[in-house]
A and B are shown apart, each in its own frame.
Chain A
């Protein structure tokens, strides 16, 4: 530095004073808490605040606009944490409520001994520049708009990062959905937001909510019908973001409720999970929502759906585990009952009959013969029941003769016609067992519920996948939510890394399709 100084000129306090008074650049010094320690003439001119007002006070109380307060805090924290600073473009709020667009460069200045360092920021006011050709080239368009967009993106990114952090910490789905609501309300600057899940029966459930006005309506867990008078209802049919701005013209309880609360405008955007419409995010505002709300909420919902998917997947996994354990317990209980009421009872009878025969042997040989015959019959029945039970546990035919054979044996014992189309190939034991279990449960369901005359079983190998299909000509209309039959099948398929779908339109029969990976 010394060699660049002209002799006789000292770069000292006096020079700094003159420079800060005369420059047109804004010069401001902040401490690590964002308090203003220095505020030059240019700052006063640009904002209308006087030095006396702002010195020693948090910049966020005066010059930092509320919508950029979070970003400001993060920049400060970053600079003090890393010691690095980078140029920033941001807004300052003027005393008259206006906004100045300012490009800043920052540098940390060591404090005097033992004191904390200061951040020296110098800014150029871009607001009234006639020509912004240079900046325009750099930013590629209207810099105000570009800046707003970058600011929005940054805010959305921060919101999504907070949600992702929650998901990673294995928060409950409720907390994740609540966070998604809160962040979408914050990002889009609206009064209220909710995450809603479609229930498959023309209703939705509120699974996450946020409102900044303490509204009683639309509580967590509440359910309401979806129809064309709601944006969630419209999303269900259109699969794209939908808006309603005028509830007064719509019939129904929900538009009335929205009016009563004072919400004028809502937008809903779809949340897809694994390619299936899972639910929607809805925002509501007392003002008419901005024109770009659909696009912004749609983009936010698309990104948030990843978080929803993982929270949902984890929840599904937890409940399917619980169901598998419960199914195992139920199975053992059923087995114990079957043994007790079946074979055990037969064997107690048998013991009694043999005693009776023994007692009758001398005095009543004919009676003894009858008792012995009864005992023999009882023994046959006991054996048959035990065989039946053993087959239910694991069919011997499966291990010995493979899947098509075991399914044929099974089909032969059912009161409907079962057609089987399957290759003779053998597959890994666990895949054959899972496939057999799924086919046998599906066929049992056909017999129990479908009122079908015949069923078709198709087994196909497709590369590393074994595909199963069980169709019937019954009445259809099987509901995956009712009873645990279909859920049990799906759990079983998913436990082995596969998938299972049930298609069952009313009076068109039922088709169960499963894909099982062969390499597990």
Chain B
């Protein structure tokens, strides 16, 4: 999970970069399961969660994914605050 500090303008640019540049590449990565982006505009904070099949899949793509995310963050003008890993212990999504 990436935690970013963003502004409105940065937010829009970042969204476009994620959707058009990074996501198509991520989707072809082994064990990639999905991406969730959460924004709190008033606080200027964005959370980007990428979901992976297992730890091995995460490790296999970690380096490249990190490089691309870092670059996308810089390009959009946001500031990276943190990168953390979590285990998914419960997941229920109805679409």
Contact = CB atoms under 8 A, between A and B. Distances in A.
B25 A344 contact: yes
- The interface residues of chain B, by DSSP majority, are classed as helix
Contacts of A351: 21
Interface of A: 337, 340-341, 344-345, 348-349, 351-353, 355-356, 359
Interface of B: 17, 21-22, 25, 28-30, 61, 64, 67-68, 71-72, 74-75, 77
Contacts of B68: 345, 348-349, 352
Nearest to A374: B71
B71 A340 contact: no
A345 B26 CA distance: 9
Contacts of A359: 75, 77
In the A-B complex, list the 7 residue pairs whose CB atoms are closest, starting with the nearest: A356-B75, A352-B71, A345-B64, A348-B25, A355-B75, A352-B75, A340-B28
A352 B72 contact: yes
A355 B25 contact: no
Nearest to B69: A352
Given A337-B30, A341-B61, A355-B17, 9 more contacts: A344-B28, A345-B64, A345-B67, A348-B21, A348-B22, A352-B72, A352-B75, A353-B75, A355-B75
A341 B64 contact: yes
A390 B71 CA distance: 28
Contacts of B71: 349, 352-353, 356
B16 to A, nearest CB: 10
A340 B17 contact: no
Contacts of B67: 345, 349
- Most chain B CB neighbours (cut-off 10 Å) among A341, A352, A353: A352
Nearest to B16: A355
Contacts of A337: 30
B47 to A, nearest CB: 20
Contacts of A353: 71, 75
A380 B75 CA distance: 21
24 contacts: A337-B30, A340-B25, A340-B29, A341-B61, A341-B64, A344-B28, A345-B25, A345-B64, A345-B67, A345-B68, A348-B25, A348-B68, A349-B67, A349-B71, A352-B17, A352-B68, A352-B71, A352-B72, A352-B75, A353-B71, A353-B75, A355-B17, A356-B74, A359-B75
Nearest to B25: A348
A348 B29 CA distance: 13
Contacts of A356: 71, 74-75
Nearest to B67: A349
A375 to B, nearest CB: 10
A344 B24 CA distance: 10
A353 B68 CA distance: 10
A341 B61 CA distance: 8
Contacts of B22: 348
A353 B74 CA distance: 9
Nearest to A337: B30
A344 B29 CA distance: 11
A338 B6 CA distance: 34
A347 to B, nearest CB: 9
Contacts of A348: 21-22, 25, 68
Contacts of B74: 356
Contacts of B17: 352, 355
A334 to B, nearest CB: 12
A352 B67 CA distance: 11
A342 to B, nearest CB: 9
- Most chain B CB neighbours (cut-off 10 Å) among A341, A353, A359: A341
A337 B29 CA distance: 8
Contacts of B30: 337
Contacts of B72: 352
A359 B25 CA distance: 23
A353 B28 CA distance: 21
A355 B25 CA distance: 17
B77 to A, nearest CB: 7
Contacts of B28: 340, 344
Nearest to A342: B64
A362 to B, nearest CB: 13
B7 to A, nearest CB: 14
A341 B68 CA distance: 12
A352 to B, nearest CB: 4
A330 B21 CA distance: 28
Nearest to A359: B75
A348 B77 CA distance: 18
Nearest to A344: B25
Contacts of A355: 17, 75
B88 to A, nearest CB: 24
Nearest to B72: A352
B73 to A, nearest CB: 10
A359 B61 CA distance: 28
A355 B21 CA distance: 11
A351 B17 CA distance: 10
- Most chain B CB neighbours (cut-off 10 Å) among A348, A351, A356: A348
A500 B72 CA distance: 52
Contacts of B21: 348, 351-352
Nearest to A350: B71
A351 B21 CA distance: 8
A359 B30 CA distance: 32
B74 to A, nearest CB: 6
